[in-house]
């Protein structure tokens, strides 16, 4: 749990990518895919290059970042797939796709062999995250619902402790947390993973901006997107270095992050541009919106073209 202490320390301090430029508070999540772009952009000077005085801050999940956007205590943030219903309901604008993720798992204690065997058991999730979403998908496939389980909501680091001490029977969680749990519960069982539902359901993670910034300060948004694109290309071309940078930022051993990093695609800005132009990205978001409606997260959603600023990503 040393990593949790490190995350708490970073949360308290924030990391400043000092530069003469427009100030921007930018949120990230405490794992490789949630932190690597912010870490690389700060470490390699991409924020400064594009005139952004970035103050990057760690969060435990995306929904809290959306709350921070709404409270005007953050300008930009990061969301995993499970929180994409928030921009779909107008709470923020998506300014860039980060990557497509395969690091989520539904894990169970030894002896539990199927999703069906979770009925009536205590299952931990961080609500509104990709782990929550994967659990719902796995339940639907097994003709079950969340109401069939004893759901306990916790933040990810608490799930690690609860699972390791066998206070819960199962969890919807992701790497690197799964890797940390495995060191303490090596006989855990993986009941479901993102790959089980790919490509019909693709799990994109994204970067978001406060709604008022998009019209009120379009130059800042464009410059942050430019820094993101530079960081994406650096990350794809220098994977080990990106892991090293993120390891230092999070205080998590590089080996743990390397495992998580292996569950992504390391997409370049050119690849994301192509997938944006051909409609794939909006298709991913539309599929997620259908799932969110099925799972009762939302009744109606915006059209992805109204909250994913794809044209601005392409032109930045």
User: Angle, to 10 degrees, between the axis of helix 130-141 and the axis of helix 280-294?
Assistant: 70
pLDDT digits (tens, 9 = 90+) for 11-64: 444 555 554 699 999 999 999 999 999 999 999 999 999 999 999 999 988 999
On whether the CB atoms of residues 109 and 189 are closer than 8 A, the answer is yes
Same domain, 42 and 64: yes
Q: Is residue 2 part of a domain?
A: no
Q: Are residues 157 and 292 part of one domain?
A: no
Residue 276 lies in a domain: yes
The residues, ordered by sequence, that sit 6+ positions from 21 with a Cβ below 8 Å of its Cβ are 47, 48, 50, 51, 52, 53, 223
Specify if 93 maps to a domain: yes
Report how many domains make up the chain. 2
Question: Rounded to whole angstroms, how far apart are CA atoms 228 and 164?
Answer: 36
Q: What percent of the chain has pLDDT over 90?
A: 88
Global pTM value: 0.87
pLDDT digits (tens, 9 = 90+) for 252-281: 999 989 999 999 999 999 999 999 999 999
For the chain, give the percent of residues with pLDDT over 70: 94
Tell me, what's the pLDDT at 127? 87
2: confidence class by pLDDT, cuts 50, 70, 90: very low
Average pLDDT of the chain?
A: 93
- Residue after which a domain boundary falls, among 166, 197, 228: 197
Residue-wise pLDDT tens digits, 83-104? 999 999 999 999 999 999 999 9
Q: What confidence category does residue 295 fall into, taking pLDDT thresholds of 50, 70 and 90?
A: confident
Mean pLDDT confidence for 294-305: 93
Structural domain for 238, as ranges: 23-101+202-315
Q: Is residue 16 part of a domain?
A: no
Cβ contacts of 216 within 8 Å, gap of 6 or more: none
Do 214 and 190 reside in the same domain of the chain? no
For residue 39, what pLDDT is reported?
A: 99
């Amino acid at each position: 749990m040393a990593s949790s202490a490190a995350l708490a320390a970073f949360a308290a301090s924030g990391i400043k990518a000092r530069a003469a430029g427009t100030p921007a508070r930018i949120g990230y999540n405490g794992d490789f895919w949630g932190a690597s772009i912010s870490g690389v952009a700060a470490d390699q000077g991409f924020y400064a290059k594009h005139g952004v005085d970035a103050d990057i801050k760690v969060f435990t999940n995306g929904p809290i970042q959306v709350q921070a956007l709404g409270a005007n205590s953050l300008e930009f943030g990061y969301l995993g797939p499970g929180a994409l219903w928030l921009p779909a309901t107008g709470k923020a604008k998506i300014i860039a796709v980060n990557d497509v993720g395969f690091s989520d798992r539904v894990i169970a204690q030894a002896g539990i062999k199927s999703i069906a065997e979770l009925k009536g058991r205590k299952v931990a999730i961080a609500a509104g995250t990709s782990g929550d979403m994967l659990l719902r998908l796995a339940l639907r496939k097994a003709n079950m619902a969340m109401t069939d389980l004893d759901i306990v909501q916790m933040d990810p680091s608490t799930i690690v402790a609860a699972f390791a001490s066998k206070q819960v029977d199962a969890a919807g969680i992701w790497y690197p947390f799964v890797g940390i749990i495995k060191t303490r519960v090596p006989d855990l069982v993986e009941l479901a993973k993102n790959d089980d539902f790919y490509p019909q359901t693709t799990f994109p993670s994204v970067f978001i901006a406060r709604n008022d910034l998009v019209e009120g300060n379009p130059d800042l948004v464009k410059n942050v997107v430019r820094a993101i694109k530079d960081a994406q290309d650096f990350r794809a071309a220098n994977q080990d270095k990106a892991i090293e940078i993120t390891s230092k930022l999070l205080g998590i051993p590089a080996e743990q992050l390397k495992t998580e990093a292996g569950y992504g695609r390391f997409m370049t800005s050119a690849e994301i541009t192509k997938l944006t132009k051909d409609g794939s990205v909006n298709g991913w978001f539309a599929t997620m919106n259908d799932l969110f409606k099925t799972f009762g997260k939302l009744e109606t959603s915006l059209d992805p073209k109204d909250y994913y600023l794809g044209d601005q990503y392409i032109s930045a």
